[in-house]
């Protein structure tokens, strides 16, 4: 009930201002109101999905569905112009990048008293990887790349960020309570669940730190970026005589890429993400009294994509954009079935072909995507249960209508 009351209050204040096309009056400073509204439709060309417990293909209960992808309200502005800023994002529909149950996604306060530098505190999306911090109305394709669906999902952190912006270089250094890391597979045997912090909380005293650089050569639309993320997520507690002793994993991710969005419509983005996650050699299942088997408590993972496209608007005044992206994700690069069972056949790949029709730039647009999913899985039980197959038949067609104001 409180959630719906909040929505009604926000709408009551926002709608009259837009209806009259007037500025919103606030007690001090200025305020801008924005929104991201996205709804869609999914048709499963391949109607199979994987029953992981039995390692077999099963039929989907429904082969098509309508979706509400995002419904968000953005409030931002300044209480002291060019000195103290704020940004808040409220979430009323849950997608994969939001913490379930959270209404408040972002609460970002900015202080700009040092030349070229902003100091930001609160809860917000760290500027690490290309698409995770990007406005969700400007993702180009409907879904995030595989690197942001699996090894490094878009997660907001609570902490502080020092952001530097110059003509040819941007840099960010941030310290956060920590994020949740999703280690694929069953590395460590008893570690099939994510490690690290969940939502607002910080279950241990460790903090995550990241550093990101964006070079801007004197070519319009060109960026070269690289970053490093390091964290010590909570693995579990060892309890003895009523005392809790923390056992932390360690996680490090290296990201690098290039993006070129030319003023004449050409788009190219390529990015590589390489990560390592290491657990304590002692076993959580036995309260850290026994050692895990050798080579089972370290994981390396790698993901990359290449995206290319062309927007016919700038040169030909045709509001259509064509895009294609190839994604690859190797959850466990050990690729040795003797030490890491299944690592040789755990790779995923996507080929996504997309068309965007821009009614008014990204503010009002329609998107159509075809996604071909590929898996290296071998000897998967088939639907009939009388044979095996490689991978599953799970391609998708997605439609999305998007309005951003």
Mean pLDDT across 115-125: 97
Closest by alpha carbon to 162, among 130, 199, 127, 205? 127
Residue 234, C-beta contacts closer than 8 angstroms, at least 6 positions apart: 178, 195, 196, 197, 203, 204, 206, 246, 247, 248, 249
Q: Is 121 exposed, middle or buried (0-12, 13-18, 19+ CB in 10 A)?
A: middle
Between 261 and 195, name the one with better pLDDT.
261
- Most confident range (mean pLDDT) of 42-51, 316-325, 336-345 is 316-325
Say if CB 233 and CB 205 are below 8 A apart: no
The residues near 379 (Cβ < 8 Å, ≥ 6 apart) are 388, 389, 390
Please give the C-alpha separations between residue 219 and each of 160, 216, 392, in angstroms, as whole numbers. Answer: 31, 8, 44
What pLDDT, on a 0 to 100 scale, did the predictor assign at position 201?
64
Q: What's the pLDDT tens digit per position in 146-179? A: 999 999 999 999 999 999 999 999 999 999 998 8
In angstroms, the CA 400 to CA 405 distance is 16
Assess whether pLDDT exceeds 60 at residue 4. no
- 54-62 CB contacts, 8 Å cutoff, 24+ apart: 54/381, 55/380, 55/381, 56/380, 56/381, 56/382, 56/385, 57/380, 57/381, 57/382, 57/383, 57/389, 57/392, 57/393, 58/383, 59/383
Residue 19 has pLDDT above 60, yes or no: no
SS3 366: strand
Q: Is there a contact between 395 and 370 (Cβ–Cβ < 8 Å)? A: yes
| Distance (Å, whole) CA 44 – CA 63 | 5
The pLDDT value given to residue 246: 82
DSSP state of 25: P
For residue 39, the model assigns a pLDDT of 97
Of 245 and 369, the one with more pLDDT: 369
The predicted pLDDT at position 340 comes to 76
Q: What single string gives the DSSP state of each residue in 320-338?
A: EEEEEEEEEEES-TT--TT
CA 331 to chain centre: 16
Dihedral sign from CA coordinates of 198, 200, 205, 206: positive
Q: How does the average pLDDT of the chain come out, rounded?
A: 87
**Residue 8 pLDDT exceeds 50:** no
**Model pLDDT, residue 194:** 64
Query: How far apart (Å, rounded) are the C-alpha atoms in residues 252 and 68?
Result: 34
The per-residue pLDDT for 335 is 84
Angle at 108 between CA 169 and CA 131, to 5 degrees: 55
Confidence of residue 238 (pLDDT cuts 50, 70, 90): confident
Q: Give residue 86's pLDDT.
A: 98
pLDDT at 21 over 70: no
Both tokens of 362, joined, read 């990204």
Q: Is the pLDDT of residue 143 over 70?
A: yes
Longest Cα separation, the chain? 74
Confidence of residue 265 (pLDDT cuts 50, 70, 90): very high
387-396: pLDDT as tens digits: 999 999 999 9
Q: Which residue has the higher pLDDT, 19 or 85?
A: 85
pLDDT greater than 80 at residue 2: no
Please report the pLDDT score of residue 197 as a whole number. 66
Residue pLDDT, tens place only, 271-312: 999 999 988 777 776 777 777 766 667 889 999 999 999 999
Taking residues 247-258, what's their average pLDDT? 93
Residue 121 to residues 106, 109, 158, 163, Cα–Cα distance (Å) = 11, 5, 8, 11
Q: What is the mean pLDDT of residues 64-74?
A: 96
| Percent share of the chain, pLDDT over 70 | 86
Comparing CA positions, the residue from 336, 153, 335, 136 lying closest to residue 229 is 153
Class of domain 69-350+357-372: mainly beta
Which phi and psi (to 5°) does residue 383 adopt? -60, -45
Report the run of H or E that residue 232 belongs to, with start and end: none
Those residues whose C-beta lies under 8 Å from the C-beta of residue 360, and which sit 6 or more positions away, are none
């Amino acid at each position: 009930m409180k959630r719906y009351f909040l929505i009604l209050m926000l709408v009551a204040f926002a709608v009259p201002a837009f209806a009259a096309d007037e500025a919103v009056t606030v007690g001090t400073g200025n305020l801008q109101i924005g929104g991201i509204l996205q709804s869609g439709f999914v048709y499963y060309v391949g109607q199979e999905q994987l029953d992981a417990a039995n390692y077999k293909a099963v039929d989907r209960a429904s082969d098509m569905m309508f979706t509400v992808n995002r419904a968000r309200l953005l409030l931002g502005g300044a209480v002291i112009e060019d000195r103290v800023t704020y940004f808040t994002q409220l979430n009323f529909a849950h997608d994969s990048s939001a913490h379930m149950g959270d209404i408040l996604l972002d609460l970002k306060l900015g202080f700009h008293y040092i030349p070229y530098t902003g100091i930001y505190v609160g809860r917000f999306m760290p500027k690490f990887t290309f698409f995770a911090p990007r406005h969700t109305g400007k993702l180009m394709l409907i879904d995030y790349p595989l690197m942001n669906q699996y090894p490094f999902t878009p997660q907001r952190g609570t902490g502080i960020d020092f952001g530097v912006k110059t003509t040819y270089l941007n840099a960010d250094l941030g310290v956060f309570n920590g994020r949740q890391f999703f280690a694929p597979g069953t590395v460590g045997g008893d570690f099939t669940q994510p490690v690290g912090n969940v939502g607002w909380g910080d279950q241990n005293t460790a903090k995550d730190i990241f550093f990101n650089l964006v070079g801007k050569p004197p070519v319009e639309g060109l960026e070269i970026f690289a970053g490093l993320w390091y964290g010590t997520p909570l693995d579990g507690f060892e309890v003895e005589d009523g005392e809790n002793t923390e056992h932390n994993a360690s996680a490090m991710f290296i990201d690098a890429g290039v993006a070129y969005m030319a003023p004449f419509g050409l788009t190219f983005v390529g990015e590589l993400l390489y990560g390592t996650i290491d657990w304590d050699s002692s076993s959580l299942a036995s309260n850290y009294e026994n050692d895990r088997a050798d080579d089972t408590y370290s994981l390396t993972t790698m993901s990359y994509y290449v995206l290319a496209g062309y927007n016919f608007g700038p040169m030909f005044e045709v509001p259509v954009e064509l895009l294609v992206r190839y994604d690859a994700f190797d959850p466990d690069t050990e690729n040795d079935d003797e030490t890491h069972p299944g690592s040789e056949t755990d790779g995923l790949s996507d080929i996504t072909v997309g068309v965007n029709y821009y009614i008014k730039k990204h503010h009002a647009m329609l998107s159509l995507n075809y996604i071909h999913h590929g898996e290296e899985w071998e000897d998967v039980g088939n639907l009939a249960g009388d044979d095996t197959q490689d991978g599953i038949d799970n391609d998708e067609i997605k439609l999305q209508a998007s309005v951003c104001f």
